[in-house]
Amino acid sequence: MQQMSVLPTPPRRDPAPTRLTYRMNRLWLTPLFRAFLRVGLPSFLIVLTVGVFLSDQARRDDLIYRVTELRRSIEERPEFMVQVMAIKGASTELDQDIREIVPLDFPITSFDLDLEDMRQAVTGLDAVSRAELHIRPGGILEISITERQPMIIWRSRQGLELLDGEGHRVAPLDSRAARPDLPLIAGDGADVAVAQALALIDAARPIAARLRGLVRMGERRWDVVLDRGQRILLPETGAVQALERVIALHQADELLERDLVAVDMRNAARPTLRMAQGAVEELRRIRTLEAGAPNR
């Protein structure tokens, strides 16, 4: 009987990890190491590759040229080009002034337009109260203007100027005859009291035909100037009420039809009438005659 050979039994595999495997597993469990492998190492390789690529001057110049051309090709697409400028709400003269301070060479890409700087330049004009700029479809730069409306003429040391209802300068004026429809004010500081001046002019409507204007006195109060050289001197406070009182006296007793130089209302408790020189002399003559007449 033939005997069978017995193969040696291979050694059993040790299930415990090796020292290197154990250390690698421990290292992988470290959050900082995992972050380095997932983020840090790829970022480093990318930066290294880009740095090597851009280390050559010719490559850098070529890249800048390609980026510039790509940007220009996008900016000059038809949908981004502005062809014309439309101005709404402005008079003919103001329209011309705006086109002078906003000189644009059309067509121009909208990326080259600084709308905020343009808006500030437009609102810097005296006649502009508010301006809005928009780029409309079709390549239209639209400028919407709210124009200041002249309400009064101010005679200053520099000449005649048109002011709006808030005292803002609108435009210079060559002569008073150019705007006879607007009332006139004069004097230093009159421009900062336009609202009060307009209130006085409104109160003076019953004598509007005789009104020549208002004069600011000492930058504190107003004088109402009438024809025939007459003046109504108003107080610093309660000027409208004082003027209305004078007009009421005039309507009741034709006060302003008399030979007066001024009606002084600066002291509300004691109004004063200043008579013309001829009237004063006549009054003295009458009093002299009355004093010399014999008693009956």
Domain range list for the chain: 78-147, 152-283
- Regarding the domain delimited by 78-147, which CATH topology (the fold level of the hierarchy) does it fall under? Ubiquitin-like (UB roll) (3.10.20)
Lookup result for tokens 């509007």: 208
Cβ-proximal residues to 6 (8 Å cutoff; 6+ apart), any chain: none
pLDDT digits (tens, 9 = 90+) for 63-107: 787 777 777 777 667 777 888 999 999 988 899 999 999 888 888
152-283: CATH topology is: Rossmann fold (3.40.50)
DSSP string, 162-203: EE-TTS-EEEEES-GGG-TTS-EEESTTGGGGHHHHHHHHHH
Instruction: Give the span between the Cα atoms of 250 and 256, in whole angstroms.
Output: 6
Residue pLDDT, tens place only, 156-173: 999 999 999 999 999 999
pLDDT, tens digit (0-9, with 9 covering 90-100), for 194-226: 999 999 999 999 999 999 999 999 999 999 999
- Which letter does DSSP use for residue 87 in this model? E
| Mean predicted lDDT score pLDDT of the chain | 85
| Separation of CA 109 from chain center | 27
Which structure tokens are listed for 192?
Answer: 């900062």
Contact 112, 84 (CB under 8 A): no
DSSP state of 52: H
Length of the chain: 296
Task: Name the burial class of residue 145, with classes exposed (0-12), middle (13-18) and buried (19+) by CB atoms within 10 angstroms of its CB.
Answer: buried
Name the pTM for this structure: 0.68
Query: Are 250 and 256 within 8 A, CB to CB?
Result: yes
